[in-house]
Structure formats: structure tokens, C-alpha cells
Amino acid sequence: MNKNYRKGQSVIKTLLENGYQAYFVGGFVRDRLLNKEANDIDITTDALPNEVMKLFSKTKATGIKYGTVTVFIGASQFEVTTFRADMDYLDHRRPEKVVYSKSIEEDLKRRDFTINAFAMSLDENIVDLFNGRQDLDNHLIRAIGIPDIRFKEDALRILRAFRFVSKLGFDIEENTFISIKKNIELLSKIAIERILDEFKKIMEYSYKEKAIKLMFEANIFKAFPELEKGLALLNKKTNYMMNYLEFFSLCYYLENIDIPLNWRFSNKEKAIINKIIELVTVTEHDRYNEMIIYRLGKDIPLMANNVSRLINPNNDQEELIVNIYKSLPIYRTCDLKFKGQDILDLTTLNNAEVIGDIIDDITYQVITNKLNNNYDEIRSYVMSLLENKYDKE
């Protein structure tokens, strides 16, 4: 980060030398004051996007609609955004139009929380217009201005508050939380992609347990009814591990529903969630076995087990899954010592389907330890199979 920080300083220096104002801003300054490593460095300036692009040799207009230009310095990149005063909030979503500003104060005022509204100059002076320092010390997430107005302007800020709870372990300041509760249903107006992005982040950070409890307390299920049973269950739990795929699987399983169409998961995510739900259902009464683990590997069963043991703490098959996986004699068909060609050498049958069935059969025998993965043993097994089952047909 130090190297990045120095490169960030060089970006600010270039802007200053050309007569513009420029500051580090937002999460980077917050995390720096908390002595935490920040993901990325945001810079704010009164230079217009096209002016920023002229000053640096490698840039990309990544968020030009919102005044953001990415500046590349070596392998590092910096989001440089022109001072803004937001306008025209439509349908509780992010503004359609932005108005550029010449004032850092105006830019900081439009930001969501006091702890996200620090600016830091090149000589490391902190601009703190909303007593963010105090909130940082008291571990509080507090909306800037009148919370009701701010959440009505952009309801995603409600979910962002929970994101910062999960990331920092902070509390939500009382009036901010009252307003979140009051406006919680506005979340249903926000594009699901943005909601999903925030949920992913919430489930990724260390204090998700706290965030989930607060989301439940704020009745977030008024906006997302399909999450109610899952959140109610988690609200009573402590010390659990869970990623977002497990979270949504848990919710849909408890509601006994398919993945609702409006939640825009990728096909890969959908396949994993469906698999988890299927495994949770199957292993409600049955144990994991070699064939399941051979077919799926251990990662998805372990995720499903995370869900199962939340629902029923007595149903924890983690050790079994890990042990089965470790002692599997083969992990793929190509690990078999007897190949398709070896089968063809034993018979005049040349039917892909039959050969496939035989391979499946040997795989099953080997996986379940009825047959060793040994050329000669498998060869005699296949010979008897051919004699008794296939060649006769």
C-alpha cells in the first residue's frame, strides 16, 4: 500500500501543479485513520474528467457519467472523480445527472456517512466537516445530514450501512438506525444487481453476524420476504461461518422455493445454490457417501454442510465429507488404471454408450472399494461383465 500511496500522492501532485484542487477521499482515508489496509485509493478533484485525462498518459473513462476517470500509474490505478453536487434523485436511486462543483465541501456533503466523508490533502491534513473523527472513535455509522432525506434520495445507502457494520464491526447511530427501519421498504426499489453486490460484501466481511442481526432488527425482510426465515434463524446463532451462496441457499431452502427469478445470479452461482439446496434436502436424513463426493468434490458438499448444521446442529457431517474425499481411490475417470481402449481390446463391441456404461460401472466399483484400482483386477471384472451382460446381448 505504501508504494500505492506514494503513487497516489504523485497523482495529487500533478493535479495541484496544474492549478487544480485534489484530495484523497472516502474509504481510503477512513481505513487509513483506522490503520487498516484499504482496497483502493479514491481521489477527488475540481479538474473536469477531460482535464484529468489530458494530464496523465494512461487513463480510462470508467465512470464518465459520474465524473470518474481511472488513472494508471505503472501497475497501480486510481479513481479520480470530479467534485460533485448530486442532483435529481429518481425513484430512490442514484442520480441520473451529476453536477460538477468547485467546492470540496459540496462534494463531501453528498457522501453517505460521516466516516466516509473525510478528505486528506497531500500534506496529510484531514478535512472533516461532519465530526467523522468522533464517530470513528466511537465506532458509529452516522448518516450525513437528515437521515430520512438521505435514505429517500438513495435507498442503497441503507444496505451500505450494513456493509460497513459487517466490515468494521461498528454500530449504527441511533437516529440513523431509526430512519433505516422507517425507510427499509425503499430497498425494494433498488436494482437487484446493486442489492446483490452489497449482500455479497456483507457476507464476506468479519462482522457479518452483527450486520445480519441488525438487518433482521430493521425488518429488512419487508423488502425481501424470501430472506425472512433465513435471517430469523441466523439472528439466533453465533459463531457460524457462511458465504453468500450458503446464505441464499439457506433462505430459499427454508422458504421451500426455487431461486426467485428477480435475483440475478450468474448461471454458475445458480448451479451451486441449486446443488446446495439439493444436498441439504438429501442429507437431512442420509449420510454423504463416496459417489456424492466423487461426483461433486468436497467444496459444494462442505458448503451444503454449513447450511445443514445451521438448521440442525446435530447434523454435522464435515468430518465425514473430508475423510471420504481424502480416501477416494480416484478423483477423475482418467485416474482409472483401466482405460476405454483397454475395454475395446477385450471385445468386438464398439458402442460408445456401452463403453461409457462399463466405465461408469468400474468407477462405481472402485469408488465404493468393491474393486481395487488395479489393471488386472479391473480387467477380470470387465471380462466377466462382458461375458455375462454385454456380449450375450
Residue by residue, DSSP assigns 96-140 as SEEEE-S-HHHHHHTSSBGGG--EE-TT-PEE-TT-HHHHHHTTE
Q: Is 84 in the site for ligand ATP (CB under 6 A)?
A: no
**Could you give the CA distance from residue 153 to residue 188 in angstroms, rounded to a whole number?**
14
Residues 295-354 that bind ligand ATP (CB under 6 A): none
**Could you give the CA distance from residue 390 to residue 291 in angstroms, rounded to a whole number?**
24
**Could you give the CA distance from residue 98 to residue 92 in angstroms, rounded to a whole number?**
15
Nearest to 324 by CA among 283, 300, 288, 295: 288
Q: Using CB atoms within 10 A of its CB, is residue 3 exposed (0-12), middle (13-18) or buried (19+)? A: exposed
**Could you give the CA distance from residue 257 to residue 253 in angstroms, rounded to a whole number?**
6
**Residue span binding Mg ion (CB under 5 A) among the ranges 23-31, 202-210, 222-230, 311-319:** 23-31
Residue 88 near residue 95, CB atoms below 8 Å: yes
Q: Nearest to ligand ATP by Cβ — which residue? A: 27
Residues 114-153 that bind ligand ATP (CB under 6 A): 116-117
**Could you give the CA distance from residue 229 to residue 215 in angstroms, rounded to a whole number?**
13
Among 98, 143, 156, 292, binds ligand ATP (CB under 6 A): 156
C-alpha cell at 95: 442520480
Residues 27-86 that bind Mg ion (CB under 5 A): 27
Residue 44 near residue 23, CB atoms below 8 Å: yes
Query: Which CB atom, from 8 or from 301, has the smaller least distance to Mg ion?
Result: 8
Residue 277 near residue 260, CB atoms below 8 Å: no
Query: Which CB atom, from 27 or from 132, has the smaller least distance to Mg ion?
Result: 27
Q: Is 8 in the site for Mg ion (CB under 5 A)?
A: no
- Cα angle, residue 80 at apex, residues 74 and 84 outer, rounded to 5°: 180
Site track 33-62 with ligand ATP (rule: CB under 6 A), x = hit: ------x--x--------------------
**Residue span binding ligand ATP (CB under 6 A) among the ranges 6-14, 111-119, 206-214, 338-346:** 111-119
Q: Where are the alpha helices (DSSP H) in 18-122?
A: 27-33, 49-55, 104-109
Q: Work out what residue 142 binds among Mg ion, ligand ATP, none; the CB cut-off runs from 5 to 8 Å by kind.
A: none
Q: Work out what residue 147 binds among Mg ion, ligand ATP, none; the CB cut-off runs from 5 to 8 Å by kind.
A: none
**Could you give the CA distance from residue 26 to residue 116 in angstroms, rounded to a whole number?**
5
**Residue span binding Mg ion (CB under 5 A) among the ranges 26-34, 60-68, 191-199, 312-320:** 26-34
Rounded to the nearest angstrom, the gap between the alpha carbon of residue 390 and the centroid of all alpha carbons in its chain is: 50
Q: How many residues bind ligand ATP (CB under 6 A)?
A: 13
Q: Work out what residue 156 binds among ligand ATP, Mg ion, none; the CB cut-off runs from 5 to 8 Å by kind.
A: ligand ATP
Q: Work out what residue 15 binds among Mg ion, ligand ATP, none; the CB cut-off runs from 5 to 8 Å by kind.
A: none
Q: Work out what residue 386 binds among Mg ion, ligand ATP, none; the CB cut-off runs from 5 to 8 Å by kind.
A: none
Query: Which CB atom, from 11 or from 362, has the smaller least distance to ligand ATP?
Result: 11
Query: Which CB atom, from 67 or from 230, has the smaller least distance to ligand ATP?
Result: 67
Residue 198 near residue 163, CB atoms below 8 Å: yes
Q: Is 246 in the site for ligand ATP (CB under 6 A)?
A: no
Query: Which CB atom, from 26 or from 95, has the smaller least distance to Mg ion?
Result: 26
The residues of the shown chain that bind Mg ion, judged by CB under 5 A, are 27
The residues of the shown chain that bind ligand ATP, judged by CB under 6 A, are 26-27, 39, 42, 111-112, 116-117, 154, 156-157, 160, 167
